Structure 1
Amino acid sequence: MEYCCKEFKVGKCEGEKVVDGETMPLVLQPPQSNKSDLESLILALKSNKDWFEQMIIKNSAVLLRGYDVNNAQDFNQIVETFGWEDIRYVGPAPRTHIYKRVWTANEGPLSQFIYYHHEMVLMKEFPKKVILFCEIPPPEGGETPFVPSFKVTEKMLEEFPEEVKEMEEKRLKYTFTAPGANDTSSMRGRGWEDTFGTSDQKEAERRAKAQGMEIEWLPDGGVRTILGPRGLTRVFEGRKGRRMWFNTVVGMHGKQISSAMMADGTEIPEHVVKRCEEIIEEESIQFKWQKGDVLFFDNYALLHGRRPSLPPRKVLVATCK
């Protein structure tokens, strides 16, 4: 698949990498300086929807840079151009609805590192695409690094073939505790009512079950969720048969409010988790934000996170099937 498309010019950005012959992210810019307005961008996207989606799958990340995208309304217009179906976020991250399909990204303290993950990786239904918009770039830090997931699988198989085989065969089980009310002091502080979109416990139980999780109500008003069994890796159609590291073992193993183990209760060795964390960091692409950037992730192919940041930083998000 060629990059050729007269409505866009291929550019470069700091931190990009060539992985298995593919540039991540693929940077697309206005073809001429007088084509940077939102209307020109929308027309270009409408005329090249299929090509653009193929670029997302081919390169795993596509960055629109140099366009006049100024606010949530502009961003929403870009998202809606493609006709992709919306998918409601379910998870621990505190978020606020901004406009139509647009939400804030994780509102946890900017001082905290948000660990690499596939969005909603533990849910039965998860987004195919995650789209991010930078309204206010941070003065320092605050990158949204991402990782080609198949590279993690490759290295883990090289270094821990037996451990990977055991986890793959036994599958995984996770637990997570959500508070009774939102806790904005934590990047995982979303209360159960916001998580499940209801204040009714029975309805919350029904929605949890639909997503493949069991829940236990705690005396303090919080809820403990049990998710499993879940797989370790996934292969998705159209992505060269690549085996994605489609789990959140590192992000949840041995944490204060979460755990990750094999589904039969076998513990995952600490040194395996630690080395996996190192591999993910080694394979990461340290993308830096500029004002007006719109970044499309193939959520099937990439893990992503957030570096600690100085304020202000405002990044908005939309998730699509």
Structure 2
Amino acid sequence: MTRTSGTGPSDRFTRTRRSVAVSSQALVRTAPLLDGTRAVSCTPAVPGLDAREWLSTSGDTLARLRDEHGAVLLRGFAPLDAAGLAELVTGLDGGLRDYDNRSTPRRRVDGNVFTSTEYPADQTIPQHNEMSYADSWPATLFLTCLVPAATGGETPVADSARVHARLPQATRERFERHGVMYVRNFGHGMDLSWQEVFQTQDRAEVDAYCARHGIEAQWLGGERLRTRHVVQATLKARATGERVWFNQAHLFHVSSLPAHVESELRADFAEDELPRNALYGDGTPLDPEDLAHVRAAYAAEEIALPWQAGDVMIVDNEQFSHGRNPYSGDRRVLVAMA
């Protein structure tokens, strides 16, 4: 299983790199992101240190920090634009991944660097591991803040092993026994279109993609397409071997929407025609108590710090989930996937 998610750079963030002789880890201070958490922050002792310079001269330090701690915040380094973020990703992981089998609206900024999910500012994006609704996902996420929100807009993260451990054994066993079935209905004019999700206008290409990934695809006339995909609920994290919670059942389930929206959708659509929904892998409905346990576990494990301009967050996508808090004002965060 593979475990791997425009316009030109803004003049405001285009800078000449400072050449700094980096000979040891002493140039970067590392500390817990918050007391009692594994995640860490890294702050340069040399003003204006470029994270790409540090990466290129400090061996496997950054990769080791990511693997050991799961989430690493780089704060106080020289700001990176989209091209600079792509260079950092390539330097650490060898290349960027495109955003295929899409679930949320994003815009391509430069190559495979995208805007973060473009949902209305007053909405919360629940905790989730990127593309954990699929059979292939990015190993690492890289996010950089160009413009922090006036208020709110944090990208909280949560330790996926601790989320798994918090869940009742019966809830874990039900999900692990059956997996999760994700059902999506395209062509109602709601949510993303199948053309956006699969990045093609060709139905044959959609069918071929679905066949390669074990997705059941059913064309229902006109632009209507229904897909069903059964994948993992948990997994052993590549870097640690720990069992982690790794799915988006709580996010895809119709109950994740505001109550009045869920009510309207249920009035307009039969259960199997909802724009998106999640079931146990055997096709039976999810137990509301299980969903409540999952949401409570995420809430208990969330770590949220306000963004500062120039911050870069590196997230092992299996070890940590992420989300987004509501915000006011302008907010510009870019994301790249390795």
What range is the shorter-chain TM-score in? 0.7 to 0.9
Query: Aligned runs of 1:125-274 on 2, under 5 Å?
Result: 125-156=136-167, 160-179=168-187, 189-219=191-221, 221-228=223-230, 230-239=231-240, 241-255=241-255, 257-274=275-292
For residues 67-146 of structure 1, what are the structure 2 equivalents within 5 Å? 67-90=77-100, 91-146=102-157
Q: How far 1:37 sits from its partner (Å)?
A: 4.4
Among all aligned residue pairs of Structure 1 and Structure 2, give the percentage whose two residues are the same amino acid.
26
Q: How many angstroms does 1:88 deviate by? A: 1.6
**More off after superposition, 197-206 vs 162-171:** 162-171
Equivalent position of 1:186 in the other structure: none
Contact map agreement 1:93 1:107 (CA 8 A) in 2: yes
Q: Which runs of 5+ in 2 are unaligned?
A: 1-23, 256-264, 266-274
Q: CA RMSD in A?
A: 2.1
Q: For 1:274, what is the secondary structure of its paired residue?
A: helix
* In 2, Cα distance between equivalents of 1:37 and 1:50: 18
SS at structure 2 position matched to 1:312: coil
The corresponding residue for 1:7 is 27
**Residue 58 (structure 1) aligns with:** 68
Any idea what SS the aligned residue of 2:196 has? helix
| CA distance in 2 between partners of 1:312 and 1:5 (Å) | 35
TM-score when scaled to structure 1? 0.85
Deviation at 1:273, TM superposition (A): 0.7
Letter in 2 for 1:231: Q
Gaps of 5+ in 1: 184-188
Displacement of 1:113 after TM fit?
1.2
- Contact kept? 1:261, 1:267, Cα under 8 Å: yes
- Taking a change above 3 Å as real, the CA distance of residues 117 and 144 of structure 1, as seen in their structure-2 partners, is same
Partner of 2:45: 31
Show CA shifts across 1:223-269 (max 9, x none). 322111x2221112331x32100111211223453222222222221
Q: Deviations over 1:51-96 (max 9, x none)?
A: 2111001111111111221522232232222242322213221111
Cα distance in 2 for residues equivalent to 1:146 and 1:232 = 19
Structure 1 residue 12, shift from structure 2 partner: 6.4
Equivalent residue for 2:19? Answer: none
Q: TM-score, normalised by structure 2?
A: 0.81
Matched residue type, 1:27: S
The 1-side partners of 2:318 and 2:42 are apart by 21
Check conservation: 2:99, 2:112, Cα contact below 8 A.
no
Number of aligned pairs? 296
Q: The residue matched to 1:82 in structure 2 has which SS?
A: helix
Opposite residue 104 of structure 2, the aligned amino acid is: A
**8 A Cα contact 1:92 1:195, kept in partner:** yes
Answer yes or no: is the 8 Å Cα contact 2:143–2:314 preserved in 1.
yes
Query: Deviations along 1:140-166, whole A, 9 cap, x unmatched?
Result: 11110111011111111xxx3223223
SS in 2 for 1:6: helix
Q: Rate the CA distance shift 1:125–1:85 in 2: closer, same or farther, 3 A.
A: farther
The alpha carbon displacement at 1:109 in A equals 1.5
| SS state at 1:281 partner | helix
